[in-house]
Structure 1
Amino acid sequence: MTGGNRGIGLATARRFARAGDRVTVTYRGAEPPVSEGLIAVRCDVTDSQQVDQAFKEAEAAHGPVTVLVANAGVTHDRLLVRMSEEDFTSVVDTNLTGAFRVARRAIRGMLREGHGRIVLISSTVALHGAAGQANYAAAKAGLVGFARSLTHELGSRDITCNVVAPGLTETDMSRALTEEQRRDLLSQTPAGRLARPEEVADVVAFLAGAGYVRGAVIPVDGGAGLGH
């Protein structure tokens, strides 16, 4: 689990641990809170060497990685006219190329084991876009094409790759929104509330056990996208 120190990542890691799974989470900034059944490894997914080392530590502690959840992500929101190239490329490097780095590394062990589940955490912004988030939306949309390409490459090897697209969720990212932004987003959400991280985690856990779901994009957005 990349980006497992808070929010959706931490909720998902705890969901797996409660089910008896051996779970490794990566973090770049603050360490995750101590939780039974979890080990934490510092890793910046923009660095291939750190990714490789994180996998070595996870494999030493828990054996082969057969379920990968790629959740690490950043935002640098700007209207395009004010967005620097660094604003764009840094978001793509973490949110999209970071997923490529960890998936490429995970697949080695999955191929040896003859089994694997990859779940990529995208966003409903990937499906409908948002002003000021061209970089974030492009990176998160790229995960869909990535997952479906891996489905063609690896489907016959019992390695699945699917995408979860959360809507507005109770995380640090949503807490940074202004009250006006929250009201506007909630007005477009039939559920009338934000998702809880645990509700996203439930869908990730389902995909980790769903062997015949391949290349799917599952929105967890309270109906905001109405299946878009």
Structure 2
Amino acid sequence: MNTTPQIDAIAAFDQVKQAVAALRHEYRQAGEAVAKLEADMATLPQMRAPFDDMKRGIVELIDTAGQRYTDDHIKPALMRFATNGMGSISRSNEESGKPLTLAALDGAVSGSRFPEARAQLVHPDKSQFDDLVFYALCADAVKAALVRVLDNITPEEFGYNTVHPDKIGPTRAEMFRQLDQWQQQLDAHKARRADIRSQLAQLGVNVA
């Protein structure tokens, strides 16, 4: 009687059992590794931040929190300032949303136009803060921050898409030079008219 096939079958069965046991062991080990990793991943973020990283994080907070505040408050305030949107008393509908005129911008800078001259650009929604004091004490820091904001503002956000290009004037410095030149010409013309009027009067001719 040939028992070789039976022996071969038993050997094959034992090999299968061993393979199954090995796989189960490996599977259990993998499960334990997964559980440990999940526990470690949950625990690590709850550890205390190292001192140096704490300091770095605080500095980073200034940038990120400042950027959020800039996007949410300062940039909209700059846009309202530039497009006739300042103050509780709104400008005329015709001017609303359009860039300030040269006269309006200069009035804000010189202090003769309100409420723009007291523009709350840093704390626009917090009346308990007076930005003018902040400007006086931290002018360089405020200007540096505003320059960063202004570098990323588009002409459209300041309302320039609402006006024809030929309605946009020169710089204020150029405007003042032009006005001064025109004033000199005007004074010369007035002086000449007065001289002519005097000459005519000597001839018995009166002119208005």
TM over 0.5, yes or no?
Answer: no
TM superposition score category, shorter chain reference = under 0.3
Q: Normalization by structure 1: what TM-score?
A: 0.19
Instruction: Report which structure shows greater RCO (CA 8 Å, sep ≥6).
Output: 1
Is the strand fraction higher in 1 or 2? 1
Larger Rg: 2
Q: Normalization by structure 2: what TM-score?
A: 0.21
